[in-house]
Every structure is written in C-alpha cells, then in structure tokens.
Amino acid sequence: MAFKSISAAEAASLVKHGYNIGLSGFTPAGTAKAVTSEIAKIAEAEHAKGNPFQIGIFTGASTGDSCDGILSRVKAIRYRAPYTTNPDFRKAVNNGEIAYNDIHLSQMAQEVRYGFMGKVNVAIIEACEVTPDGKIYLTAAGGIAPTVCRLADQIIVELNSAHSKNMMGMHDVYEPLDPPYRREIPIYKPSDRIGLPYIQVDPKKIVGIVETNWPDEARSFAAADPITDKIGQNVADFLAADMKRGIIPSTFLPLQSGVGNIANAVLGALGRDQTIPAFEMYTEVIQNSVIGLIREGRVKFGSACSLTVTNDCLQGIYDDMDFFRDKLILRPSEISNSPEVVRRLGIISINTAIEADIYGNVNSTHIGGTKMMNGIGGSGDFTRNAYISIFTCPSVAKEGKISSIVPMVSHLDHSEHSVNIVITEQGVADLRGKSPKERAQAIIENCAHPDYKQILWDYLKLAGNKSQTPHAIQAALGMHAELAKSGDMKNVNWAEYER
Amino acid sequence: MAFKSISAAEAASLVKHGYNIGLSGFTPAGTAKAVTSEIAKIAEAEHAKGNPFQIGIFTGASTGDSCDGILSRVKAIRYRAPYTTNPDFRKAVNNGEIAYNDIHLSQMAQEVRYGFMGKVNVAIIEACEVTPDGKIYLTAAGGIAPTVCRLADQIIVELNSAHSKNMMGMHDVYEPLDPPYRREIPIYKPSDRIGLPYIQVDPKKIVGIVETNWPDEARSFAAADPITDKIGQNVADFLAADMKRGIIPSTFLPLQSGVGNIANAVLGALGRDQTIPAFEMYTEVIQNSVIGLIREGRVKFGSACSLTVTNDCLQGIYDDMDFFRDKLILRPSEISNSPEVVRRLGIISINTAIEADIYGNVNSTHIGGTKMMNGIGGSGDFTRNAYISIFTCPSVAKEGKISSIVPMVSHLDHSEHSVNIVITEQGVADLRGKSPKERAQAIIENCAHPDYKQILWDYLKLAGNKSQTPHAIQAALGMHAELAKSGDMKNVNWAEYER
C-alpha cells in the first residue's frame, strides 16, 4: 500500500491527552523529533484553554531537546521511562512535576510487553526508509522500536533524509517471545546476526509518513583532561595486568563502555596499549572514540544499540559504509543489554559512578541521594552480568569539596555483590574475592583523594570492627549532611556523632 | 580403579594450613560432614602447639554445624563464600574473625573458575555412589560440586549411606564453558534435562573414600502463624488477581520461593488457591511444603539445587522414588539460579526481606546495616531477572519496636530497579511502572504497620517534594539510629532533624 504523506502537525493531532507514545531512538540517536515538537504545541494550546493535556513517553533511552526538552517545558509529560539526559526534563522531575520511572534498559521493552506500564497508543518511529509492505528501516539506534511498533494501535513514521539510506542493513531486529515461550538469544559472539534488517509491521497500522530533514541531537563530550586520562590509563594498565596473569583470556574479551568523557579516555588508553590485542565491543552506545578505533583497526567489531556520535562522525560512517558494513551492528536495547548475552560473552564492563562507598556500593543516578541526574541506563545490565565489572570516577568533584568515595552511598544502584573494581585517578581497588572490611582498606588506600583518606579512616574507626560491614549508622551519611550544611564534605566532624 | 578407603581423620590430614577446600552441598543438604569435623581437630591441635591453621571454604551455600559451626568455633576459617546460616559462624564473622565474601549464588562457581578467589586445593564431596571410572553420584544437592571437582588437585569422597542410592539419576550435572566459549544454557522448561546424572572426574584425583552414615543437617522451620498465614494469603490473592487480568499467562509461570516459614506459608496459600492452576517450580531450594504439594498434585514439577527437607521427608522421597523420579530434578547452583534461565522462563520470585524502604529498596542480609544475618543467597539472582519479583516480610519485628518499612534501608541488596512488589501482613504494594514518590505512597499506605504509618508520612513531609527520591539525608537512617539509642524505632523524633 502507498502511505499517506502527512505533516508533523497532522500526525501530532492523533495523540490525545492520556495517551502513551512509544518512540524510536536511544541516547538520543535515532529518536523521532518532528512530531513530538508538534505535540508540544497542542499541549500549550490545550493548557491555554484550561484543558488537561499530558502524555506518557516510552522510549529506548534519552531523547533530545525536541522531545524531552520541549515537552517538559510545556508540562506535557505525565509519565516517562527510562533514561534521560535533558536538563529541562531533569529540572521538572526534581520539581516533582513528572512521574519518572528509572528502569534497567534491558527490561524496558519486556515490561511494556508484560503490561506493567499501560497501553502504547501511538508509536512514532524515525526511519531512513519504509516500504509499501510495512518494512521500516531504522536510523541510528535500535531502542525499543520493534516492541512499540508491534504493540501500538497506530504507527507514525518520520522519514528523515538527514540519515542516509546507507543505514539499511546495519540493524539486527530481534524481539524475543515472552515467557513461557521464550527461547535463547542466539548470540555467541558480538558479530552474530540473529534477526532482520528492518521492523516488519502491518502496513495498515502506519497512519502516515512525516517527511523531515532533521539531524540527530547527540552531544559531543568534554575533551580529555589530565584526570580522565589518568583514569583511562589506570583502566588500561589494570586490564593488561589481568590479561598477563591469565585472569582474562589472551584473546581478550568483548568490552562495554559507558557514555561520556571518561569512557572516551578509557577507550583512548585501551587503544594505545599494544599489549592488549585488537578487541570487540558488545556495548550499548558507540561514541566517536570507538569509530576512531575501528578505523585504526584497534576495535575489530562493534555491536551496540546506537551510534551516539556527532553528526560529522555519523556522516563519515554513511560515506564509508563499504568499510563499516561488516564492522558494526545495531540492535534493540533488549538485546544489546541482554543479561543472558552479557554473561555468556563474558563482557568487561566499564561504567561511571557518581559516588562509590568504602564497601564497593555504587550510586550512578542520584546527586546527594535525592536529585535525579540521568538514570541508571544500561549500567546495571552490564555490571551485574559482567565477567569483570569496573566503575570509574574522579576521586573528588566541585574543587575537592565533594569526595566520590564516601562511607555509605546516598543512593544505591549497584551493590557490593556486583562491583568488582573501582578506579579513580588515584588508583585501582580490586574488590574481587574480598570481604567488606578488606574492600574498605583497598578503596580508601587506592582510590580516595589524599584530602579524604584520613577522614575515611577516622570514619572506619568510629564504626568499629564488630560486624560484617562496619558502620556508625548515625554518621554513615554524615559527609552528605555536611555537604548540605557547609558546602564542603571535608568539614565533617565525626566527634559530633560519637556517643 | 579401586579407590582406597580412608578414615575421615586420614582424609583431613591432606588439608594443610592456607588451603582452600571446595565442598559439595547447599543449605545445608548434601554437604560433606565427616572430614570437616576432623579438620577442626587438626586446627585445634595446631593452635595448641602455637602453629597457624586456617583454611578457605568454597561451597554452594550454607553448610551445617559439622562444617561452619565446628570450624568457626576452633577459629579454623580464614575466608569463606557464599551464604551461611550457622550461628557460630555468624558470631565469628560479626566479631571480625573471618573474611566473609557474600556473593550471588549463581556467580560462585564461575568466580572460582575465573580465579577471583584463589586455588581450590582439595574438594570434599558427599556421594551416594562412586564408580571405579570416576562417576560421582551426589546426594541431596548440586551446589558447586562439579566445579570444585574439576578444579581441585585432590578429591575426597564421603560415601554417606544415610542417603539412599535411589538418589542416583535425580541430578542433572551441567557446567558451562567459560567465555569466550560459553553457549546457551538449553533449559526451556523446568523439567528439561541438559547434563549427566553424575560428575565425571579423573579417577586418579580421588585420593580416598570416607565411608559415613551421617544424616543431613537441614533444620525444620517454625510453624505457620497468623502473620505468616496472612502474608501467604496476600501473595496468593495478588497472583490470582494478576492472572485474572492477564498479566500472568493463564498457564501460570514457574515459581521460585525462598527458604523459611514465610515461604512455607506462601506455598501453602498458593496450594490452597484453586483459581491458580497446578504449577511448576524453578527454584533454589525445595522445602517440605513443596514435597507435600507435589504429592497433592498442586506442584507438577520441581527443579532446584537442593532438597532442604527434614530427614523424615527425605526418607519419604527415597522410599517413593518411583513417584518422584519424573517430578524432581537437582542442578548445580550456577544452573538452578542462572539469570539467563530465570529471565527466559519468566520466573515469579518470592523472597523474604529483613527490611524494605519506602522507595522499594530491600535489605536481605544485614541487621541494623552492619551485622550479617545469613547472606544474600540466591535472592538477587531471581529477583533481578524475574517476570515478577516479590518481597515479603512481617511489617514489624521485636514486638513492634522495629518497623520493616523504613525511610532508607540500612543496607541495600536489591535496588528499586529490581523490586516489583512488597507484601506484608498489612497488604500489597504494587510498584510496577511507578515513580519513587508513587511507590512511597503505595508502600506506606498498604504495607506499613499502623503504628508506623504516621511516622513514615512525617518523614516524607520532612523530606519535601523537590527531588526524584525525596530524602532528608541527615534523617534518612534516623529510625535505625533511634533503635540503637532507645531500642524502639517509634521514639524517633523528626523535629530533632529539622534545621
């Protein structure tokens, strides 16, 4: 069938107050952009008339300003899951205006299918091509697009000419059956293809095609600096040493790496370390640095959910597709982050902590235990099932007024049971096989900033030795309370907590 | 080859100071008992001579007094992983005498194989039969026996005639390859057999057979009471309702249930609810109550790691093996608790919390955030990958002086990202698809004891509304601090924390 060409405004008018929309895209590559911007206008108009207009948003991970930003500003979001990076959305969440459900990315699609979050009314999918028989070819990300296409009553396709049709063929679309009918996810190495290069939908559900030319909204990250370079070098040295002593196989293992400037620094250092063989990535997000390493032959293959690269870098891939076609694959987040596949492949996972405590618990979502930063993303999917799970962070923040190493994390996303290694610019704490007390020694000694070492040793003294996990419970969050009070964790006075 | 029959004392003399021993058994079914008791005597003698004598213990889960108890009392344990229930061991750990590494049970075998915990010197394996070509038939548990048999330099077999040879054939021994060679674990329904009924070892590694007649040391649990009965009923009613509205398929899904009297009450209630069809278990531990439900036809099949039943009940199974042979299977803990299989099968997991907080974070290991109770066991393996993850607990403990619902858990084992449902005798909080603030409303309203509801609402008021996860960080552990001070959480005075 031939699809109707409609305007973004016409498409947006299909979305009613109370609807849940399902979006393509991931961090924020490949997100639909034009229709959400028009939904914002409808919301504004309805609100001006005194009518309620709020929707739920289900997507792969962060969208750009054209969705989370603009819709937050006009107060059009009632509910949203999962990960997000938009500052206006963040502000609205922390103001209590939006019900934000922060969920492991591998679970998003299945929890929508299981019915835990309500109905998907309309799917809005960015495509580089769509065929009359209902084959939708995605752009720069997998996300939860296959699931929302299947569940939604209506599908709107944003056919975006800012993405090259060269993207056709790069996707591996696979949606598992739900229990009790689910089978194995048959990926045994990062390059295994298990699905189709397109999403097959019932063409009757496609209510219209919105033609756009709207570049992706991926950010570029801060350049490396001496601190991130040192962290990167510590990671590379640690992995090289583990390979040397036979803990990591000599062929190395597939790598997952988080998003941001620390991740870039880590990949840079791994790329430079010639004792580490060329390796594969089985990861969530491919950033510019990975594309560079593929061009240099240091990364042999990249499996991910999204190409979260600058638009220049993306254009470079489209232009060189003959080179990249057998070196890159994009999958739905349910597959890129699958605990089953992560544990099977033996991924080395490297993610960023906001803070870690002396026992190896990690906070990766909440500032001061209360304010949402971005969400957990896929860090839990990888950490929990990794062969070796590593968390990195600078040892201090805010000109040294905040220590990233604290007695007890103010919010906990990754527990002591899941975290193997903590790395700062100060050094490496190897927590594997250690009891909590042994972990505390390693973390304070190797990872804490010199300004905070004695403060942390003094906390341990206050906590005593008479337990598995020593804490002076009334003082455990004392450094956070001090930060709230005086603006500097260094001012904490443990004597106040003695009884 | 014919194996040498040796005494337990001779076998124990092979274990030297500094060795790590690997044991069969799980919670504490099927644990070797005779040799460890003799190791304790050696330790005592060496200590009397002023010599050091301490070992590391790697096992499936808790052992009985003959291992953890007796070896703790003579201070012969340097290091131990994972789960344990022995009171003397617990005391020693909380006194700081033992390095205890509390680890997810599905990860124990692989972390030993990966080399994270050091070498396995001697494996001590309880068997009901061993053949000259090195086939070891296990008794009442799978545990990590296949892994420690393969890795150890020497194997001691405790041939225990207290277990019937009828156990032969009940085990499904399967050890996955390590990355990068690992394949799928090909279990698609609880009854799928994927391995061998015995552990095949190099017979040359078997240094001797210790013949014993030593019954298992499984405890029986407290009888159901009105509180546990109400919790059980709440679980059954919740699951029946979820099935009715189509969230759970009409064929139901396989169940995992933790250990203890609440688990027994839950299973009792599920057994009685005839709107729930006869179901299968894919679980860690089979207790007496499951055997009863199999006899009644309410449980169709049980896959587990151990038969942690009373000795009478175990004898009943051995006597009725023609009935039970196609209704029970025992697997290594790496398989019974496999995240891959748990997520694939869509397990409904039901575990017990020590405390839960208003946002759905769960503490299942530490009393007051510091003292180890038993360890995390397999609760994390199941919770994190469940179709629906449920935590149960009575709403109060210690004659009401402790609320199980608190503002912030004092130790966190299962995060908000993994916990779907909290159930107390007061009611059910369904957290699926909810933001933290919506979860807090549901948990306080439905699960907290009436004596603590207003206290928790008042905490929320103190915490304000200006964040994703409201906390008054200086007061977040205030109920725990109050318990330590006055012995009653009800005395907490939030006014003290206002600024």
Average pLDDT over residues A276-304: 97
Report chain B residues whose CB lies below 8 A from the CB of A343: 182, 339-340
pLDDT digits (tens, 9 = 90+) for A91-112: 999 999 999 999 999 999 999 9
Instruction: Assign residue A169 a region (left: φ > 0; alpha: ψ between -120 and 50; beta: otherwise).
Output: left
* Residue B231 belongs to domain spanning: 224-285+346-489
Helix H or strand E segment including B282: strand B279-282
CB of B128 within 8 A of CB of B137?
A: yes
The rounded distance, in Å, linking the Cα atoms of A315 and A170 is 15
pLDDT of residue B218: 77
Q: Which of A210, A245, A267 is the last residue of a domain?
A: A210
Residues B401, B426 within the same domain: yes
- pLDDT tens-digit profile of A348-388? 999 999 999 999 999 999 999 999 999 999 999 999 999 99
Q: What is the mean pLDDT of residues A127-134?
A: 98
Looking at the domain assignment, is residue A389 inside a domain?
A: yes
Q: Which of B210, B244, B264 is the last residue of a domain?
A: B210
pLDDT of residue A451: 98
Q: Is the separation of the CB atoms in B482 and B492 below 8 Å?
A: yes
pLDDT interval class at A219 (50, 70, 90): confident
Q: What is the C-alpha separation between A165 and B7, in angstroms, rounded?
A: 75
Burial class (CB in 10 A: 0-12, 13-18, 19+), B246: exposed
Interatomic CA distance for residues B230 and B242, integer angstroms: 18
CA distance A50 to chain B (A): 25
A143 and A275 assigned to the same domain:
no
B149 and B258 both lie in a single domain: no
Contact of B101 with chain A, judged by CB distance below 8 Å, is answered with yes
- Chain B environment of A466 (Cβ under 8 Å): 94-96
Tens digits of per-residue pLDDT, A162-184?
A: 999 999 999 999 999 999 999 99
Is B252 found in the same domain as B147? Answer: no
Residue B201: pLDDT above 70?
yes
Are A203 and A277 part of one and the same domain? no
Average pLDDT over residues A293-310: 97
Write out pLDDT tens, residues A8-46.
999 999 999 999 999 999 999 999 999 999 999 999 999
Amino acid at site A463? A
B residues 46-65 lying closer than 8 A (beta carbon) to A: none
Mean pLDDT, rounded, for B379-401: 98
Indicate if A147 and A251 belong to the same structural domain.
no
Residue A499's pLDDT band (cuts 50, 70, 90): low
In a domain, residue A261? The reply is yes
Q: Does residue A271 sit in the same domain as residue A160?
A: no
Q: Which two tokens stand for residue A298?
A: 């240091």
Q: To which residue do tokens 């001590």 refer?
A: B124
Q: What is the pLDDT of residue A498?
A: 82
Task: Report residue B499's pLDDT band, with 50, 70 and 90 as the boundaries.
Answer: low
The residue written with tokens 């750990």 in the block is B93
Residue A390's pLDDT band (cuts 50, 70, 90): very high
- What pLDDT is recorded for position B90? 97
C-beta of residue B161 within 8 angstroms of C-beta of residue B212: yes
Q: How far apart are CA B139 and CA B124, in angstroms?
A: 13
Residue A450 in contact with partner chain B when CB distance is under 8 A: no
Q: In this predicted model, what pLDDT tens digit does every residue of A65-92 receive, in sequence order?
A: 999 999 999 999 999 999 999 999 999 9
Residue of A363, A469, A497 for testing the chain B interface, max B β-carbons within 10 Å: A469
Is B219 within the bounds of a domain?
no
Inside any domain, residue A178: yes
* Domain assignment of residue A448, yes or no: yes
Q: In the structure encoding, which two tokens stand for residue A293, read together?
A: 């390493």
User: How many domains are there within chain B?
Assistant: 2
| Integer Cα distance of A461 and B207 in angstroms | 47
Q: B279 - beta bridge partners?
A: B299
Average pLDDT rounded to a whole number, residues B357-368: 97
In-domain check, residue A368? yes
3 state DSSP class of B106: helix
Of A106, A26, A13, nearest to A59 by C-alpha is A26
Nearest CB among B178, B180, B468 relative to A94 is that of B468
User: Does A236 share its domain with A186?
Assistant: no
Averaged pLDDT for residues B363-372: 96
- d(Cα A424, Cα A453) in Å, to the nearest integer? 14
Mean of pLDDT values over B372-392: 97
Determine how many CB atoms are found less than 10 A away from the CB of residue B373: 17
pLDDT category of residue A1 using cuts at 50, 70 and 90:
low
Q: How far is A381 from chain B (nearest CA, A)?
A: 10
Note whether B360 and B431 are within 8 A (CB).
yes
* B117 vs A: CB within 8 A: yes
- A357 and A399 assigned to the same domain: yes
Interface test with B, best of A54, A105, A417 (most B CBs within 10 A): A417
Per DSSP, B175 falls in state -
A310 inside domain: no
Q: Within a domain: residue A102? A: yes
- How confident is the model at residue A24, as a pLDDT? 98
Joined tokens for residue B200: 């095949």
Distance between CA atoms of residues B137 and B330, nearest Å: 12
At B61, which CATH number? 3.40.1080.10
A160 with A254, same domain: the answer is: no
| Direct distance between the N- and C-terminal alpha carbons of chain A, in angstroms, rounded to an integer | 78
Residue that wins the pLDDT comparison between B1 and A431: A431
Binding-site residue set of A for CoA: 354, 374, 378, 398
Residues in A closer than 8 angstroms to B442, CB to CB, are: none
SS3 assignment, position B10: helix
Q: Give a three-class secondary structure readout of chain A.
A: CCCCECCHHHHHCCCCCCCEEEECCECCECCCCHHHHHHHHHHHHHHHCCCCCCEEEECCCCCCHHHHHHHHHCCCEEEEECCCCCHHHHHHHHCCCCEECCCCHHHHHHHHHCCCCCCCCEEEEEEEEECCCCEEEECCECECHHHHHHHCCEEEEEEECCCCHHHCCCECECCCCCCCCCCCCCCCCCCCCCCECCEECCHHHEEEEEEECCCCCCCCCCCCCHHHHHHHHHHHHHHHHHHHCCCCCCCCCCEEECCCHHHHHHHHHHHHCCCCCCEEEECCEECHHHHHHHHCCCEEEEEECEECCCHHHHHHHHHCHHHHCCCEEECEHHHHCCHHHHHHHCCEEEEECCEEECCCCEECCEECCCEECCCCCCHHHHHHHCCEEEEECCCEECCCCEECEECCCCCCCECCCCCCEEECCCCEEECCCCCHHHHHHHHHHHHCCHHHHHHHHHHHHHHCCCCCCCCCCCCCCHHHHHHHHHCCHHHCCHHHHCC
Binding site listing of B for CoA:
354, 374, 378, 398
Nearest residue on chain B to A176, alpha-carbon basis? B344
Mean of the pLDDT values across residues A214-236?
89
Residue B403 pLDDT grade (very low, low, confident, very high; cuts 50, 70, 90): very high
Predicted confidence at residue B374, as pLDDT, reads: 95
Cα separation, A404 vs A30, whole angstroms: 33
Q: Say if strands A122-130 and A285-286 run parallel, antiparallel, or are unpaired.
A: unpaired
Please, what is the Cα angle at A294 between A292 and A299, to 5 degrees? 120
Tell me what the mean pLDDT of segment A432-455 comes to: 98
Determine the average pLDDT of the residues in B259-273.
Answer: 93
B471 contacts in chain A (CB < 8 Å): 369-370, 410
Please state, in angstroms and as integers, the Cα–Cα distance from residue B255 to each residue in B281, B292, B323, B337, following that order.
5, 16, 21, 12
Residue B431's pLDDT band (cuts 50, 70, 90): very high
- The rounded distance, in Å, linking the Cα atoms of A439 and A431 is 6
User: Looking at B13-97, which runs of residues are DSSP E strands?
Assistant: 20-23, 55-58, 77-81
State whether A179 and A273 are in the same domain. no
Count the residues in chain B: 499
State the binding site of A. 354, 374, 378, 398
C-beta atoms surrounding A418 within 10 Å = 25
Per-residue pLDDT tens over the stretch A306-361: 999 999 999 999 999 999 999 999 999 999 999 999 999 999 999 999 999 999 99
Chain B nearest CA to A412, separation (Å):
7
What confidence score (pLDDT) does residue B222 get?
A: 78
Query: Which residues of chain B neighbour A340 with C-beta distances below 8 Å?
Result: 184, 339-340, 343-344
**Range with the poorest average pLDDT among A261-275, A403-417, B41-55, B336-350:** A261-275
Between residues A219 and A397, which one has the greater pLDDT? A397
CATH number at residue B276: 3.40.1080.20
Write down the catalytic residue from A158, A217, A284, A482: A284
Q: Which of B416, B424, B438 is nearest to B352 (CA)?
A: B424
The DSSP H or E segment spanning B12 is helix B8-12
Same structural domain, B242 and B205: no
Gap between the Cα atoms of B132 and B136, Å rounded = 9
Contact yes or no for B94 and A249 at CB 8 A: no
Residue B97 C-alpha, separation from nearest chain A C-alpha, in angstroms: 9
State the residue for tokens 């927590």: A431
Which two structure tokens, joined as six digits, stand for B245? 């509205």
Identify the domain boundary among B178, B210, B242.
B210
Q: What is the mean pLDDT of chain B?
A: 97
- Put simply, whether A379 touches B (Cβ < 8 Å) is no
Distance CA A479, CA A403 (A): 9
The reported pLDDT for the residue numbered A220 is: 74
Residue B346 scores a pLDDT above 90: yes
